[in-house]
Amino acid sequence: MAKSKRVRLLISGRVQGVYFRAYAQDEARGLGLRGWVRNLPDGRVEAVAQGDPAQLKAFEAWCRRGPSHARVQDVVVVEEDVEWTEPFPFEIRF
């Protein structure tokens, strides 16, 4: 079994008001990831995801596309140390 990894993604473009968070939650849960997603005041979406490296890559690829009404311009991915396991399935934060 691969070691769990954790990444923070900052997604920019037309990503708010297009159900990006809800679709991201569905995608992440389907991949078995833990973490969260939220809107940022500057118009970006931030997601923190933890899980198997292959599933994280699949989630990153999805974030680069987003749902059909989104127009993703950029995704910044930062690997983070896994200090604890996210306690909940992937959730939307407000």
Known catalytic membership, residue 39: yes
Distance separating alpha carbons of residues 86 and 35, to the nearest angstrom: 6
Length of the chain: 94
Q: Of residues 6, 8, 21, 71, which has the active-site annotation? A: 21
Which phi and psi (to 5°) does residue 60 adopt?
Answer: -60, -45
Residue 88 buriedness (CB in 10 A; 0-12 / 13-18 / 19+)? exposed
Structure token pair of residue 34: 């833990």
Known catalytic membership, residue 21: yes
Q: Of residues 14, 29, 39, 44, which has the active-site annotation? A: 39
The set of catalytic residues is 21, 39
